[in-house]
Amino acid sequence: MNRPPRSGRGGGRTRPPVRPPARRLVALLAVMAFGFSGILVRLVVLQVKDASALEQLALRQRIQRITIPAERGTIFDRSGQELAMSLPAKAVYADPHVVTDPSAEARAIASTLGLDETTVRAALQERVVNGRPVRFVYLDRGVDVGTAKRLADQDLAGIGFLAESRRYYPAADLAPQVLGYVGLDGTGLSGLELQYERILAGTSGSRVFQEDPSGTLIPQAGSVAIPPRPGDDLVLTIDRDIQYRAQVALQNAVRTNHAKGGTVLVMDPKTGAVLAMASYPWFDPNRFDRSNPAAQRNRAVTDAYEPGSVNKVITAAAAIQEHLFNLNQRFTVPDQMMVSDHLFHDAEVHPTEKMTLGDIIAYSSNIGTIKVAALLGQQRFASYLYRFGFGRPTGIDFPGESAGILPPSDGWWGTSMGTIPIGQGIAVSPLQMSAVYATIANGGVWVQPHLVEGVVGADGRFTPVAAPATHRVVSSETARTVTDLLAYGVDVGTGKQAQIPGFWAAGKTGTARKPIPGGGGYYADRYVASFIGFAPAADPAVLVAVVIDEPRTVFGGIAAAPAFRDIARFALARLRVPPAPRLPAPPHAIRPG
């Protein structure tokens, strides 16, 4: 077989021989076609069929969303001092599955956060719950940012941080029952924190950004931030200094009298603004989880008690308002008297005396008061109790207010006209009773007590709350006369220890027996002693109620009146009320010699 000649240098050009496609080329083509078909199919699967799911997966891997908690509003006292405030904080958590050395990490975490090492080590141990490994465990909440940063700098495996905020009560146990507290998640759980949750909480924001698998921010991808809307601030009617002084005086009164507890309330009788409110024992809201739940109750608002003799002011006001008798009229008052089937008696044994209404109030005569109430009649007397606010909540802006217990007048017992005029057989909250005295101090007009003066929005604008509800209960003349009687009681009667040097105070003592829970009468040896009064009597600026629970000295004039004096004197100075001379005693208030 002859081969075609090769073209050589200088040789003529020759066309390469055309050869039929080789088999392997065809095979290669087939393989390539198959390969490309596979790629095409895969592309279709990725780009069409699974496109949406893969896109979501990619976004989930890249996109991070961080919730930015809203800063809870601050609670200020009436002069702008912080009583409760929030600061950014961190929650520290662990993923036990990722933790590499539980013992070493527990040691580092415990020393940085001040936690128990054993507890932390136990939390870091891998475990399975309900067949699934635990991947999230809180190690600590509300850690301040600086401490959290110190821990983050140690770069411990499996330890993470979440943004949150922490509530602080800088004055610790000042007005704790009024302020209440918030839970670990920043939600108000009691007190004003609960009542004004919607205003204080604000709205959380968020920040969306992209990061690579190593967690590094991808700056070119941009980010979207929805800023949180901080909660509004509350401005209370509480005065921090008066509150402190009231708590000190209450604590002293409880300890001096070896009492079980006590409640104090200071109020501006003209506006219904509560200047101080506390119950002893109290607690530190910064560590509310370690406190006794009973100490967390704001007993001035949520608890009802039988008020005792402080209730006599209603009997007196009703009698004066109804012009039942001349104020110079003298009642024949023995030291005991039968009402229905029960024998009532005065606190002290005394011969039958002739007493004016002023004397009856000043010396807190039970029998005299029952006689005056009898002149009023059951229905009329009950209507005054209702008009003074008994049997229903005052409507103060505080959760869980007690309405007290006032049985309907058609359901009273035969002895009710003996017990109720002297403050037994009914129950009221200290706030309700204070509102009665505020009505007298305010010229006969009942004013709804309130704790919040206004709200400060994010723009810094102060919006006052709606004006408190008011209604007239007795005439201003009646209120003036009752004030005279109450001032006379402080001058010469059971309230002598409530006298304030330089001021003319008016008020009434109370000593009430404590009922046995569930019925069955009263304890023989358990009393509630109280004093409620206001000053200056001529132009009242401050009202103080002191209630002492189970004091060793049962009389309100001894157990509670000195605390009234201390608190009222301080409050008058704080409110810059100048001393005023004592007015002469009313002519009708003269005890027979």
Contacting residues toward another protein, per CB under 8 A: 81-82, 85, 87-88, 144-146, 168, 170-174, 217, 219-220, 240-241, 243-245, 248, 501-503, 569, 579, 581
Residue among 144 and 185 whose Cβ is closer to another protein: 144
* Strand pairing report for 233-236 and 462-464: unpaired
CB of 168 to another protein, least distance (A): 6
Instruction: Tell which residue, 217, 91, 107, has the closest CA to residue 154.
Output: 107
CB of 144 to another protein, least distance (A): 8
CB of 579 to another protein, least distance (A): 4
CB of 82 to another protein, least distance (A): 4
Residue among 123 and 238 whose Cβ is closer to another protein: 238
Residue with tokens 């415990």: 110
Instruction: Tell which residue, 465, 463, 483, 464, has the closest CA to residue 474.
Output: 483
Residue among 173 and 197 whose Cβ is closer to another protein: 173
Contact at 8 Å (CB) between 346 and 549?
A: no
Residue among 282 and 305 whose Cβ is closer to another protein: 282
- How far, in Å, CA of 357 to CA of 361, rounded? 6
Residue among 107 and 496 whose Cβ is closer to another protein: 496
- How far, in Å, CA of 371 to CA of 258, rounded? 35
**Helical spans, DSSP H, in 257-305:** 299-302
Q: Which residues are catalytic?
A: 309
CB of 244 to another protein, least distance (A): 4
- In 174-322, where do the E strands start and end? 181-182, 188-190, 205-210, 223-226, 233-236, 261-267, 274-280
Residue among 145 and 375 whose Cβ is closer to another protein: 145
Residue among 87 and 469 whose Cβ is closer to another protein: 87
Residue among 385 and 572 whose Cβ is closer to another protein: 572
Enumerate the β-bridge partners of residue 348: none
Other C-beta atoms within 10 Å of 263: how many?
Answer: 28
State the burial class of residue 105 (Cβ atoms within 10 Å of its Cβ: 0-12, 13-18, 19+): buried
- How far, in Å, CA of 393 to CA of 401, rounded? 6
Other C-beta atoms within 10 Å of 231: how many?
Answer: 24
CB of 119 to another protein, least distance (A): 28
Distances (CA, A) of 593 to 354, 365, 366, 484, 487: 10, 16, 20, 20, 20
CB of 228 to another protein, least distance (A): 13
Residue 130's region, left for phi above 0, alpha for psi from -120 to 50, else beta, is left
Residue with tokens 């580092």: 108
Q: What is the largest CA-CA distance in the chain?
A: 165
DSSP letters spanning 418-465: HHGGGT-S-BB-HHHHHHHHHHHHTTTEEE--BSEEEEE-TT--EEEP
CB of 19 to another protein, least distance (A): 32
